[in-house]
Structure 1
Amino acid sequence: MIGDRPAAPPAEPDATHSPKPLRDLIADSIREQVITGAIKPGRRIREDEIAQDHGVSRVPVREALQKLESEGYLTLTRYRGATVTMPSAERALQAMEVRRGLEVMAARLAARARGGPAAAQLVRLVERGSRAVDERRYKAIPELVSRFHELVAVASGNPEIVQILALYRGKVDWMFSVDLEDRAEGSWDDHAAILEAILAGDEELAGRRMDEHTSKDEDACRRHVHQEGTAAPAAGRRARSTRTSTGGR
C-alpha cells in the first residue's frame, strides 16, 4: 500500500476494453496521490509494493515509474529506486510559465470556434460559479475553476492542448497553493470575461484576458516563493475547503 489508502487494483489489461495501457493507469494512481499529498516528497516508492497493490507484475509498474520520472514527479536512482521529488521554486515557476502560454493558446483557438461544442457547457459553468461566489460557497469553486479551464481546452479543438494542459495543471496543483477566499470573486469575474471574448469570437481579446488572468496566478506564486523561499507541495497544504491550487485560477 502506498500513501494512506490502498490503491484500487485495476484488472489485467484487455485491449478491447481498457481505454489506457496498464502502465498509464498505475501512473495515474500514483500521480494523484503525489498531487494530493497522500505520498509525500522524499517518500520511497517500492516496485514490489505497487505491483502487489495492483495485482500485476513489476513490468508495468517500472514503466509507470519511468513515465512519472519524465513528468518530474519522481526521481529514479540506481540501487535506491524511485522517490517522490521535492519541487523546487524555480521548476514550479517554469511550469507556470509553460501552462500560461498553453492556456492563452487554448483561449484563442476556443474563440476562433466561438466555444464550439463546449460553448453551452461553459455558459452554464460560469453561471454556477457566479452563484457560488455570490453565496460565498467557496468549497465549490476549485472544482468549477478546474472544469472551466478543461472546457476551454476542449473548446480549442486541439487534443494535444487538452492533454498537455492536463499534465501541467497537475504539476501546478502539486507545486503551489494560495488562499482562495481572498481571490474568488475577482477570479470568477476573470472567467466570465474570458468566456465573453470566446463567445464573441475575439481571439486577440480572449488570449489577452486569459494571459492577464493566469499572470495573476504567477504573481501570487512568486509572492509565495518570496515569503516562503520554496514551492508549496501538496503535503503541506491546508484542506482544500479554504485553499486551492493555482492551475489557472
Structure 2
Amino acid sequence: MLSAGLPQGAVPKLERPGPLRDRVYEALLELITTRALQPGQHLVESELAGHLGVSRQPVREALQRLNTEGWVDLRPAQGAFVHEPTEEEADQLLSVRMLLEAEAARLAAANADSEGIAALDELVAQGLKAVASDDVDAAVALNAAFHAKIMELAGNSVLAELAAQVDRRVRWYYTPVARLRGGQSWSEHRELIGAIADHDEERATQLMREHTEHTRRSYHARQRP
C-alpha cells in the first residue's frame, strides 16, 4: 500500500502497448479523477513507481505532464501533490459544462430516435441501482455515460470534442457530491429523457441547465454544516 493509503485494488493495471510514460500518465490521471488519490495528497515517485511496476523516470515524466495540465502541483523542495481545486476553478468549469450540456440536450431533443431514448432509459435504471447499493464509483461512471450518450445523440462532433476536454474534470468535481445528489440526480435525468423523447428542445435545454446548476450548487455546498 502507498503510505498515504490507496484502497486495495485501486491501482490500475498498465496495458503494455504505447509509450510507457503515456500509460503511467493515464493510470495516475484515473487515480486522481476517481479520487483514489485525494486533492492535496503527496505523490512519492518511488512509491508510485513500485505500485505501477515501472521505474521512476516515466513516473517523473507523467507527473510533469500532469503538472502542466493542472492536475498536480510540483513544489520546490517538497515534491508533487495532487492539485486542490479552488472554488473559483470549480465554478468556472461547471459553468462551462452547463453551456455545453444545455446545447447538447437541445440537439438531442431534435435528433434522438427511439433507440437512443432506450439507451438513456437503461443508463438511468443502472444509475438508480448504483445509488440504491451506495456504489458511488458506479454512479459516477454511469452519470458520465449518461451525459456522454446525450452528447452522442446531439450529433455535433465539435461540441462533443469540447465536452470531452472537460469530461474528466467534471467527473473529478462530481465524485464528492455524487452521494449528496443521490437519486435526485437520476430523477432529473428521467425528466430530461421525457423532454428529449417529446422532441421538446426548449424544455430539454431548460431541464439540463437546471440539472447542471444543481450539481454546481451541491459542489459549493458540500462542506457547509
Is the structural similarity TM-score above 0.5? yes
CA contact (8 A) 2:195 2:203 kept: yes
- Corresponding residue for 2:194? 196
**Distance change >3 Å, CA 100–CA 168, structure 1 → 2:** farther
Structure 1 unmatched runs, 5+: 15-20, 229-249
After TM superposition, the structure 1 = structure 2 runs for residues 39-188 of structure 1, keeping only pairs within 5 Å, are: 39-114=37-112, 118-127=116-125, 132=129, 137=132, 139=134, 142=139, 144-157=142-155, 158=157, 159-173=160-174, 176=177, 179-181=180-182, 184=183, 186-188=184-186
Q: Which amino acid aligns with 2:148?
A: E
Q: Partners of 1:129 and 1:175 in 2: how far apart? A: 16
**Distance change >3 Å, CA 195–CA 71, structure 1 → 2:** farther
Q: Partners of 1:102 and 1:70 in 2: how far apart? A: 24
Structure 2 unmatched runs, 5+: none
CA RMSD of aligned residues (A): 3.3
Select 2:14's aligned residue among 7, 10, 17: 10
Deviation of 1:65 (Å): 1.7
Deviation of 1:209 (Å): 1.0
Q: Partners of 1:170 and 1:200 in 2: how far apart? A: 29
* Matched-pair identity in %: 33
Q: Which amino acid aligns with 1:67?
A: R
Q: Partners of 2:15 and 2:195 in 1: how far apart? A: 45
Deviation of 1:114 (Å): 1.3
**Distance change >3 Å, CA 174–CA 119, structure 1 → 2:** closer
CA contact (8 A) 1:114 1:200 kept: no
Q: Partners of 1:43 and 1:223 in 2: how far apart? A: 22
CA contact (8 A) 1:92 1:172 kept: yes
Q: Partners of 1:220 and 1:120 in 2: how far apart? A: 29
Q: Which amino acid aligns with 1:68?
A: L
Q: Partners of 2:16 and 2:127 in 1: how far apart? A: 40
CA contact (8 A) 2:176 2:219 kept: no
**Distance change >3 Å, CA 171–CA 67, structure 1 → 2:** farther
Instruction: Report Cα offsets for 1:42-89 as digits up to 9, x if no partner.
Output: 332233443343344555433422332244321023443321122222
- Between the two proteins, the alignment pairs up a number of residues equal to 215
Q: Partners of 1:50 and 1:127 in 2: how far apart? A: 37
TM-score normalised by length of structure 2:
0.74
